[in-house]
C-alpha cells in the first residue's frame, strides 16, 4: 500500500508531511526548499492557474518600479483574472454569508446560491475548486520530492468547522484527485505531534490561533488514547483579522475609494503583516506604503498593535472558558497548554494564555508545522503504524431537527464523541400522508431558524395510513470525519428507505462530477503560454485604467501629454493581439512610465478633496 500523507490546508499557508522512520517531517519543495505553500491561488482569464509565491506576485498591488514610479499590477479580479487568498474562509458558506467588505476585495458572481462563486473571466469558481488547486500543488510537490504517486491523504480542518465546511474540504480533495482518508481536527492533530513517542498522560489544552480560524480543544491523554473532552472556537477569527485591523488603522483618514482599491488594500495588507511580524521581537515598526503621489508613513508600536488586537484576543479567551466549562474543568486542572498556529507568536497572545491557565504554554514544535506533522502521525495511525495510539474526537456543534413551532430538538449534543449515531422515530401528522419533510440543523440556539441549516430530506413514499400509525426510524450518524450520514427504515415493513438528502450549502455530487470532467479538459498550459497571458492581462488592465482616468479627470492632463499617451496606448492595443510577449511587456512599461505623473495628480486630487470635505464637516 502506498503511504498516506498528511496535509494542513491552512488559511494562510499549507503544508504536506509524512512519516520517515517513525518521525513526522514536512516535505519541502525540491526546487525552492520551501516547506510552506502560501494558500494563494491566481487564475488567469483563460483559466490557467498558479499557486503559492507565484500567485502572490500576481495579486493586485502597487509596485514601485525603477525610477520610483508606482504601477498598479496583478490580476484585479473578474474578467482580468483573479488572485484569491484565504479561500478557507469561504469554505462551506452560502453566497448570502459573504461579508459586505469582502465584496470590494473580490469579484463574486451571483451571491444568492448555496455556495460562494468567484467570477473569473467567463467562468465562476467555487471555494472547493480553488482549495483543490492548493491541494494539487502540494500533491505535485510531494510527488516530485518522493518520486512516487500520492493519492491518499489525511487533511486537517478547524475543530469548529461545521458539516458544510467539512464536506467542502472533502470535495476539494476529490477535485484535486485525492482520496481523503480522514479529516482530522487541527488542534487534535497538534496534540498527536506532541504526544508521539512520549508516554504522556494528563489533561491538555490546545490553543490553536491560525491565520483565519481559532480553535481550543481540551484532551485527556491516557495510555495512548487521545480523548477530546470539549472543543470550541470560531471559524472566522484569526491573524487575518488582526492584519485587517492594522490595515484600517493605516488607511484611516484616506478616502474610501482609495482605501477600497484592491491594489492599495493588498499593498497595505502586506505592509501590515510585515509590521505585525516585526513586532514579535521589536517594540516598534516603521510602515511606508508608496501610493502614486503620496506615501503613507506611520509608526506602529507594540502597544498600539496590542490595542488593535485586544478585542480579537479577548474573543479567543472567551472561547477557552466555554471549552473548559463544557469539559467541567477549571484552568488549574489543565496539566499542559500547547500553542499552535502562527498567531501564537505574538507576545501578547502568549501572555494572555499564560495568565488564563496560570502556566507557561508549550511551543517546542514550530507552531506553523505542528498541525501538518500531526496529520502525518494520524496518517500513520490509519496505516496501522502507531501501535495502540488512538484519537477519539468530538462533534463541535449540536445537531438536531426542526420540530413544531420552529423549535430545534437536539439529537446529538456538542462535544459528543464521534462516530456516534442516534435513531429518531417519525410518523405522519394527517391521514394518508405519504411524505414527511425533515429539516436538519446544527448549532446551539433554541430556534431552528437561529441555527445553521444543514440539510433537508423527504421521507417516503409512505403507505397511506391513518395519522400517527406509520413508523419510520431515521438514523443520524456522524462519522469519524464529523460528517452527517442519514438512513431510514420503515419499522413496520423493515424496508430501508432511500433518503435523498439535499445539503443546504455546498456542491451536489453532479456538480463535482462536472467539475472533474472540466478540469481534465483544461489540462496544463506551458510556461511560455502562461507568461503571454499574464502580459496580455497587464496590457488590458493598464489600457482600461488609463481610458477610465482620461474620461474621469480630463482637466488634470495637458494636450501634449494626452497625445503622447494615446500614441503608446495605440501601439500596445495592436501588440496585445499578437504573440510577442516581450513587445507587450515593453509597451506596458512605457505606458506605465508615461502615465505616472497623471496618476499622481489624480491621487493628490482625491486626497485633497477628501480632506476638504472632512474639514467642512468638522466646521459645520
- Chain residues binding another protein by CB under 8 A are 1, 4, 181-182, 222-223, 225, 227, 378, 381-384, 388, 390-392, 416-422, 477-480
**Residue 465, CA distances (Å) to 40, 433, 473, 487, 496 in order:** 57, 7, 17, 22, 18
Give the nearest distance from C-beta 526 to another protein in angstroms. Answer: 38
Here the cell at position 519 is: 478540469
Q: CB-wise, 170 or 182, nearer to another protein?
A: 182
**Cβ neighbours around 99 below 10 Å, total:** 10
- Return the DSSP state at 78: B
User: What CA dihedral angle connects 266, 271, 276 and 278, to 10 degrees?
Assistant: 150
Closest by CA position to 485, among listed 474, 496, 473, 472: 474
**Residue 218, CA distances (Å) to 209, 231, 525 in order:** 15, 6, 47
Q: CB-wise, 378 or 549, nearer to another protein?
A: 378
CB neighbour list of residue 478: distance below 8 Å, 6 or more residues apart: 395, 399, 412, 416, 418, 419, 420, 421, 484, 485
Phi, psi of 244 (to 5 degrees): -65, -35
How are the residues of the chain apportioned to helix, strand and coil, as percentages rounded to the nearest 5? 40, 25, 30
Give the nearest distance from C-beta 164 to another protein in angstroms. Answer: 21
Burial (CB count <10 Å: 0-12, 13-18, 19+), residue 509: exposed
Q: CB-wise, 266 or 316, nearer to another protein?
A: 316
Q: CB-wise, 227 or 561, nearer to another protein?
A: 227
- SS3 per-residue string spanning 229-295: EEEEEECCCCHHHHHHHHHHHHHCCCCHHHHHCHHHHHHHHHHHHHHHHHCCCCCEEEEEEEECCEE
Strand 5-9 with 152-157, pairing: parallel
Give the nearest distance from C-beta 472 to another protein in angstroms. Answer: 16
Q: CB-wise, 241 or 393, nearer to another protein?
A: 393
Task: Give CA 437 to chain center in angstroms.
Answer: 33
Phi, psi of 445 (to 5 degrees): -85, 160
Give the nearest distance from C-beta 177 to another protein in angstroms. Answer: 19
Alpha helices for 6-66 (secondary structure H): 53-58
Give the nearest distance from C-beta 326 to another protein in angstroms. Answer: 12
Q: CB-wise, 64 or 425, nearer to another protein?
A: 425
Question: Which residues are registered as beta bridge partners of 344?
Answer: none
Give the nearest distance from C-beta 323 to another protein in angstroms. Answer: 15
Q: CB-wise, 137 or 192, nearer to another protein?
A: 192
Give the nearest distance from C-beta 382 to another protein in angstroms. Answer: 4
Q: CB-wise, 388 or 521, nearer to another protein?
A: 388
Give the nearest distance from C-beta 517 to another protein in angstroms. Answer: 25
Q: CB-wise, 28 or 477, nearer to another protein?
A: 477
**Residue 105, CA distances (Å) to 59, 265, 513 in order:** 11, 8, 30
Give the nearest distance from C-beta 49 to another protein in angstroms. Answer: 31
Here the cell at position 617 is: 464637516
Dihedral (CA of 37, 40, 44, 45) sign: positive
Q: CB-wise, 83 or 412, nearer to another protein?
A: 412
Q: CB-wise, 140 or 477, nearer to another protein?
A: 477
Give the nearest distance from C-beta 493 to another protein in angstroms. Answer: 17
On whether the CB atoms of residues 475 and 422 are closer than 8 A, the answer is yes
On whether the CB atoms of residues 312 and 245 are closer than 8 A, the answer is yes
Give the nearest distance from C-beta 417 to another protein in angstroms. Answer: 5
Amino acid at each position: 500500500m502506498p503511504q498516506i500523507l498528511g496535509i494542513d490546508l491552512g488559511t494562510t499557508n499549507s503544508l504536506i508531511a509524512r512519516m520517515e522512520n517513525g518521525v513526522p517531517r514536512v516535505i519541502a519543495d525540491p526546487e525552492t526548499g520551501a516547506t510552506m505553500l502560501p494558500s494563494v491561488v491566481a487564475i488567469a482569464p483563460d483559466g490557467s492557474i498558479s499557486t503559492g509565491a507565484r500567485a502572490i506576485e500576481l495579486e493586485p498591488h502597487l509596485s514601485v518600479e525603477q525610477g520610483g514610479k508606482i504601477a498598479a499590477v496583478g490580476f484585479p479580479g473578474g474578467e482580468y483574472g483573479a488572485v484569491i487568498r484565504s479561500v478557507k474562509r469561504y469554505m462551506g458558506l452560502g453566497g448570502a454569508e459573504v461579508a459586505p467588505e469582502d465584496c470590494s476585495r473580490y469579484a463574486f458572481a451571483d451571491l444568492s446560491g448555496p455556495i460562494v462563486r468567484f467570477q473569473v473571466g467567463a467562468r465562476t469558481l467555487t471555494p472547493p475548486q480553488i482549495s483543490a488547486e492548493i491541494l494539487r500543488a502540494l500533491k505535485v510537490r510531494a510527488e516530485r520530492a518522493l518520486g512516487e504517486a500520492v493519492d491518499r491523504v489525511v487533511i486537517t480542518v478547524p475543530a469548529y468547522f461545521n458539516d458544510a465546511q467539512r464536506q467542502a474540504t472533502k470535495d476539494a480533495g476529490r477535485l484535486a484527485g485525492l482520496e481523503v482518508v480522514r479529516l482530522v481536527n487541527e488542534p487534535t492533530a497538534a496534540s498527536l505531534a506532541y504526544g508521539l513517542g512520549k508516554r504522556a498522560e494528563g489533561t491538555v489544552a490546545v490553543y490553536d490561533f491560525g491565520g483565519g480560524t481559532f480553535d481550543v480543544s481540551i484532551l485527556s491523554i491516557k495510555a495512548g488514547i487521545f480523548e477530546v473532552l470539549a472543543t470550541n472556537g470560531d471559524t472566522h477569527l484569526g491573524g487575518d483579522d488582526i492584519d485587517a485591523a492594522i490595515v484600517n488603522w493605516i488607511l484611516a483618514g484616506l478616502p474610501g475609494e482609495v482605501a477600497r482599491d484592491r491594489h492599495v488594500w493588498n499593498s497595505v495588507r502586506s505592509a501590515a503583516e510585515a509590521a505585525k511580524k516585526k513586532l514579535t521581537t521589536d517594540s516598534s515598526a516603521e510602515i511606508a506604503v508608496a501610493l502614486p503621489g503620496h506615501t503613507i508613513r506611520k509608526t506602529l508600536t507594540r502597544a498600539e498593535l496590542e490595542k488593535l488586537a485586544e478585542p480579537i484576543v479577548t474573543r479567543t479567551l472567551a472561547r477557552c472558558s466555554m471549552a473548559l466549562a463544557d469539559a467541567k474543568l477549571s484552568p488549574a486542572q489543565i496539566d499542559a497548554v500547547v500553542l499552535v498556529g502562527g498567531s501564537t507568536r505574538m507576545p501578547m497572545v502568549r501572555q494572555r494564555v499564560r495568565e488564563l491557565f496560570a502556566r507557561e504554554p508549550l511551543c517546542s514544535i514550530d507552531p506553523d508545522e505542528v498541525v501538518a506533522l500531526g496529520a502525518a502521525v494520524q496518517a500513520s495511525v490509519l496505516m496501522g503504524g502507531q501501535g495502540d495510539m488512538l484519537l477519539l474526537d468530538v462533534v463541535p456543534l449540536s445537531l438536531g431537527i426542526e420540530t413544531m413551532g420552529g423549535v430545534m430538538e437536539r439529537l446529538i449534543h456538542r462535544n459528543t464523541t464521534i462516530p456516534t449515531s442516534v435513531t429518531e422515530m417519525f410518523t405522519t401528522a394527517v391521514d394518508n400522508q405519504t411524505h414527511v419533510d425533515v429539516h436538519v440543523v446544527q448549532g446551539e440556539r433554541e430556534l431552528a431558524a437561529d441555527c445553521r441549516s444543514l440539510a433537508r430530506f423527504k421521507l417516503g413514499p409512505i403507505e397511506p395510513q391513518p395519522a400517527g400509525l406509520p413508523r419510520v426510524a431515521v438514523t443520524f450518524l456522524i462519522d469519524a470525519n464529523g460528517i452527517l450520514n442519514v438512513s431510514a427504515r420503515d419499522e413496520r415493513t423493515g424496508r430501508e428507505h432511500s433518503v435523498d438528502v439535499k445539503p443546504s450549502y455546498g456542491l451536489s455530487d453532479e456538480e463535482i462530477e462536472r467539475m472533474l470532467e472540466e478540469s481534465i479538459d483544461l489540462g496544463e498550459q506551458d510556461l511560455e503560454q502562461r507568461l503571454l497571458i499574464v502580459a496580455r492581462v497587464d496590457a488590458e488592465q493598464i489600457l482600461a485604467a488609463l481610458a477610465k482616468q482620461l474620461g474621469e479627470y480630463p482637466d488634470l492632463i495637458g494636450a501634449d501629454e494626452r497625445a503622447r499617451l494615446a500614441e503608446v496606448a495605440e501601439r500596445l492595443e495592436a501588440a496585445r493581439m499578437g504573440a510577442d510577449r516581450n513587445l507587450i511587456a515593453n509597451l506596458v512599461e512605457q505606458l506605465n512610465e508615461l502615465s505616472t505623473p497623471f496618476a499622481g495628480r489624480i491621487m493628490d486630487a482625491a486626497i485633497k478633496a477628501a480632506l476638504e470635505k472632512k474639514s467642512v464637516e468638522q466646521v459645520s
